[in-house]
Amino acid sequence: MAVPNRDGNDGRISRFGWKAQNQSLLLFAGEAYNVEVGITNKLFQQERAYGPGCQFAAQPNDTTDTDAATPVDAASHVEQFAFFLHDGRTSDLLEAIRLHSSIGNRVYGPSEANVVIDVFSTSSEADKQDLLNFLRSL
């Protein structure tokens, strides 16, 4: 039986990130955006990549646009990144599941998600809906 990864501070189960160290997709996205890309945001306001013009930013580089025309446009890049395909290409769960499939190429093998997608595709409609409801709850 698999043992869940628990946060050392409060004991909550962590599931997202390279070593499942984050409790939510939003936290995972905020950390990745800051550490991997060097973009500050509401969750991670400290600069990681020091360069000309970014060391002394008065506010996070990535913020919510309160003047946007639509809710999607208002979301910060971190919030958009936290959508289910991680890069914001879709917020539709079925489409995100489908797009995680890959046959691979000469450099990379097939996606590890292929088996999971096959299991999902052959599941009953009730089981599919249960999974979609769970994903929406995250």
Residue pLDDT, tens place only, 79-119: 665 555 555 567 788 888 888 888 988 888 888 889 989 99
Residues in the chain: 138
The predicted-structure confidence for 12-69, as pLDDT tens digits, reads as follows 887 777 777 888 888 888 888 787 777 788 888 887 655 555 555 556 666 777 787 7
Q: Is the pTM of this model over 0.85?
A: no
pLDDT score at 82: 59
Q: Torsions phi, psi of 16, nearest 5?
A: -115, 150
DSSP 3-state of 135: helix
3-state secondary structure 62-104: CCCCCCCCCHHHHCCHHHHHCCCCCCCCCCCHHHHHHHCCCCC
Could you say which DSSP state residue 4 is in? P
Does 50 or 122 have the greater pLDDT score? 122
